[in-house]
Amino acid sequence: MAENIKTLRRRIRTVANTMQVTRAMEMVSASKLRRAQSRLVAGRPYTQKIRELLARVTDSPNVGGNPLFEQRPGKALVVLVTADRGLAGSFNARLISEAESFLGKYTPETASLFLVGKKGSDYFRRHARIPVGAAITDLGGNLSSERSSEITAQLVELFRSGQYAQVYVIFAHFVSTIQSRPTVVKFLPLDRESLAEELGAAEEKPQDRTEYLFEPSPQAVFDRLVPAYLSSRIFMILAENFTSEHSARMVSMSNATRNCEDMLYDLTLRRNKARQTSITTEMLEIVGGANALT
């Protein structure tokens, strides 16, 4: 029985130490979530407005074609955004599952992977049926306009060079602190119809329509808006994904902390019962020995 008490004490210390780690990680994730969520909320109006402006300019009769609007047959590039670290529950697994489902309609000859995040890169380098063209594994969940611009430039160059005819992005859309949704969006080529639909949805009241004067010309404004829109879109995709990641990790660590508390309660109860049994046994032995001497 004494050995059993010693084992229980050792397990209690182990669980208590684990609980300290999970609680600390929960607090760190909560802090990162607040910062990431504030940037996400602040960036959404900008992305929405620049999309509306691009839709207006695209609808102008004086605007010529742009190679990023070119619809052509060819190979697809699928960009998967995951986390660089784990301990986030099923966050990475759901994104990988979404990617596997989306890639089911492609063959190794018709698609390639562009992986952003160490978890997705580790998985698909071992199990990929579709070849991996490139991987970025050093973002660390930190949102940076410089890095998002670099990724945008890479994707645009791969499309403009003719190596790929479509570019899709799979990421986690942030819904709330306890929910994110794996989402697939078409990044390139741009689509005049979808932009026009977005503009129409944003203008439910015709009397609120704003007329613009373009200087120096609609074409010049259009050529500047397209790269700005693409950069803002990748930035917001990363913001959505990183916010979802920090949220998932915070919730996961919160659940782990509660599980540790439940285990501590159970182990402490078992230890106390074992001590009480040990004390009772010793007292019975003492009484029995005293009775034997009389």
Give the pLDDT confidence of 215-272 residue by residue, as tens digits.
Answer: 777 777 777 888 889 999 999 999 999 999 999 999 999 999 999 999 999 999 998 8
Side-chain half-sphere CA neighbours of 195 within 13 A: 24
Pair 265, 66: CB distance under 8 Å = no
pLDDT range class, residue 67, cuts 50, 70, 90: confident
Q: How far apart are CA 5 and CA 202, in angstroms?
A: 67
pLDDT of residue 258: 94
Q: Name the H helices within 59-117.
A: 91-103
| Positive or negative: CA dihedral 102, 104, 106, 107 | positive
pTM, two decimals, is: 0.84
Query: Which residues, including other chains, have CB under 8 Å from residue 53's CB and lie 6 or more apart?
Result: 212, 225
Domain 28-203+210-250 has CATH 3.40.1380.10: yes
- Position 44, amino acid: R
**What is the DSSP secondary structure assignment for residue 165, as one 8-state letter?**
S
pLDDT of residue 245: 94
pLDDT of residue 83: 94
| pLDDT(96) > 50 | yes
| pLDDT(204) > 50 | no
| Positive or negative: CA dihedral 276, 281, 283, 284 | positive
pLDDT of residue 63: 65
pLDDT in tens, 159-177: 999 999 999 999 999 998 8
Query: Kind of pairing, strands 76-81 and 166-176?
Result: parallel
pLDDT in tens, 210-219: 566 777 777 7
Query: Kind of pairing, strands 76-81 and 111-116?
Result: parallel
Q: Name the H helices within the chain.
A: 2-58, 91-103, 118-127, 145-160, 192-202, 218-293
Q: How far apart are CA 73 and CA 190, in angstroms?
A: 14
Kindly list the domain boundaries of the chain, sorted by start residue: 28-203+210-250
